[in-house]
Amino acid sequence: MSKLEYDGLTQCWRGFQEDEDGFVRVSMTDATFQRHLNAYLESRGLPTQTYTELMGYVQQVCEQRVQAGKYLSNLEYWRECNDPEVRVYQYTFPPSVKPERH
């Protein structure tokens, strides 16, 4: 069976199939294809955002993850998080020995 393919020159979806009895030709605008695509996705409970909307969402999530990474880079967070899997070691120096700060 032939596949439906997008023709960028005409901006239409087209497909052609031939057998011993004849042939079938399918053609539609991108808007029609997108309408059917969205209906198919919705019928399966999937989001129907456009590529641009999805990329905007991805950019937003990436920015949020960068901000979260910056927030979690603060050692005070880890000192106070009370997670038994996080090991915090506190060292104190004797009064006569002070480390040099760079």
Q: What is the pLDDT of residues 6-39, one digit of tens each?
A: 999 999 999 999 888 899 999 999 999 999 999 9
The pTM (predicted TM-score) of the whole model is 0.53
Question: Cα(first)–Cα(last) distance of the chain, in Å?
Answer: 71
Q: Which residue has the tokens 């641009």?
A: 52
Average pLDDT over residues 52-66: 96
- Percentage of residues in the chain having pLDDT higher than 90: 74
Distances (CA, A) of 77 to 8, 63, 81, 91: 52, 20, 6, 18
Q: What is the pLDDT of residue 93?
A: 83
